[in-house]
Amino acid sequence: MKLSVIGCGYLGAVHAACMAKMGHEVVGIDLDTAKIEALAKGQAPFFEPGLPELLTEAMATGRLRFASDIAAAKGSQVHFVCVGTPQRKGENAADLTYVNGAFESLVPHLSDGDLVVGKSTVPVGTAKRMADLIDAGTADASLAWNPEFLREGFAVKDTLHPDRLVYGVASGEESDPATAILDGVYATPLSEGTPRLVADFATAELVKVAANSFLATKISFINAMAELCEATGADVTKLADAIGHDVRIGRRFLNAGLGFGGGCLPKDIRAFMARAGELGADEALTFLREVDNINIRRRRRMVELTQEICGGTLAGARVAVLGAAFKPDSDDVRDSPALDVAAIIGQRGATVVVTDPEAIHTAQRLRPELTYVETADEAAKGADVVLLLTEWKQFRELDPTTFGDTMTGKRILDGRNVLDPAAWRAAGWTYRALGRP
């Protein structure tokens, strides 16, 4: 099938490449010419495992191309809108500028029978508004809303082999013509047995924010337990293992530590609260405010712990920070707990030396005031304390017997509960963590 993908960020670039891999003829479109130039050369504009190889493979087939003019969408039968919906400055609500802009610029290029498919995470009610916009155009085109559940770091795998497909269609019925078109697009994953659910627009929009809210709640739940563990001398990692054995609870997404960040979970729960308020249903989501608060408190606790271990003041201290990305296998620093903690510690008078396997360039842009080095060993040189804030494999596998020899004292704070406390203590380290004795 001929597809266009509008917006080539983390979501769109991966979606475009994966659709080409599935055999479709795809044009990826983005206003950012630098991004398009990179993609056209087969280069991924951000770090995502497997994406460079996939781009090279897809470009070689001749089925994937990129353009910066929206007119390039003409001739495609299905148009995926994958633009960002960031948090509005100074507000909880989502900024829909890019979604509105994408639809407004796309509509004049639509032809009869085209299907526009929204993938962006939007406040419930947006799809209906976009459907009206399409109806007001001259072409007889229609809309579907098809939320995306990919995780950064696993984006290629999650797109090629999704755990479910959700179609929001105008009638809400499986018999809707949009269903058959989307079944054609996703023929490959459907043939692998991927579950597919058809719903109305509002349900499809809500599925996405409900899923992210649940994940955020799960993380904040275990981090609230970590606060209790800190107050009682209990161990949150053992608590998580024990409750996680109950299949109704499950062990995944119960890793206590510095909490969630990134371009999705934090802004999605805030936008969801804002939208519920507009709908007069704010009470239903007031718990999400607490989910957000618990999450932010973990960052503050990490700063306090660092101050404590540095003898009560951060002024003049030298702090090594391992990790800047919001999670491993990503160079994304949007609302990164690691970078946030590093910046606050710097503001309190410490010299902060940050390292990250992939995110130094993105971190430098956001927090130019911090010092960046290439390796954990360089960061630890002369440091009073090491903070492990993003659990990259390289950091999880550090050897406590050889690492940190050039520090002023062997002190480590494990912000992600990924090190073995016994091994680090046996090697002479003062080991502290969130939610652990």
Closest separation in Å from C-beta 167 to ligand UGA:
16
Closest separation in Å from C-beta 326 to ligand UGA:
4
Strand pairing category for 142-145 and 165-169: antiparallel
Nearest alpha-carbon partner for 257 in 287, 238, 232, 237 = 237
**Rule CB under 6 A: is residue 215 a binding residue for ligand UGA?**
yes
In this chain, which of 152, 205, 331, 356 binds ligand UGA, going by CB under 6 A? 152
Closest separation in Å from C-beta 48 to ligand UGA:
10
**Rule CB under 6 A: is residue 259 a binding residue for ligand UGA?**
yes
d(CA 55, CA 110): 27
Closest separation in Å from C-beta 327 to ligand UGA:
4
Longest CA span, the chain: 73
**Rule CB under 6 A: is residue 151 a binding residue for ligand UGA?**
yes
- Tokens linked to 115: 């299907």
Closest separation in Å from C-beta 280 to ligand UGA:
25
- Tokens linked to 166: 């959700």
CA dihedral (160, 162, 167, 168) in degrees, to 10, reads -120
Among the residue ranges 57-65, 252-260, 307-315, 339-347, the one whose residues contact ligand UGA (CB under 6 A): 252-260
Among the residue ranges 47-55, 262-270, 375-383, 399-407, the one whose residues contact ligand UGA (CB under 6 A): 262-270
d(CA 190, CA 198): 13
Among the residue ranges 91-99, 101-109, 175-183, 257-265, the one whose residues contact ligand UGA (CB under 6 A): 257-265
Beta-carbon contacts of 403 under 8 Å, excluding residues fewer than 6 positions away, are 376, 377, 380
**Rule CB under 6 A: is residue 46 a binding residue for ligand UGA?**
no
Closest separation in Å from C-beta 313 to ligand UGA:
28
**Rule CB under 6 A: is residue 156 a binding residue for ligand UGA?**
no
Q: Of all residues in the chain, what percent are helix, strand and coil, respectively (each to 5)?
A: 45, 15, 40
User: Is residue 189 within a helix (H) or strand (E), and if so which, with residue range?
Assistant: helix 187-191
- Tokens linked to 94: 């989502």
**Rule CB under 6 A: is residue 265 a binding residue for ligand UGA?**
yes
In this chain, which of 261, 323, 400, 415 binds ligand UGA, going by CB under 6 A? 261
In this chain, which of 201, 260, 392, 403 binds ligand UGA, going by CB under 6 A? 260
CB atoms within 10 A of CB 358: 19
d(CA 208, CA 284): 17
264 is catalytic: yes
In this chain, which of 118, 123, 257, 415 binds ligand UGA, going by CB under 6 A? 257
Beta-carbon contacts of 286 under 8 Å, excluding residues fewer than 6 positions away, are 273
Site residues (vs ligand UGA, CB under 6 A): 121, 148-152, 212, 215, 219, 253-255, 257, 259-262, 264-265, 326-327
Which are the catalytic amino acids?
264
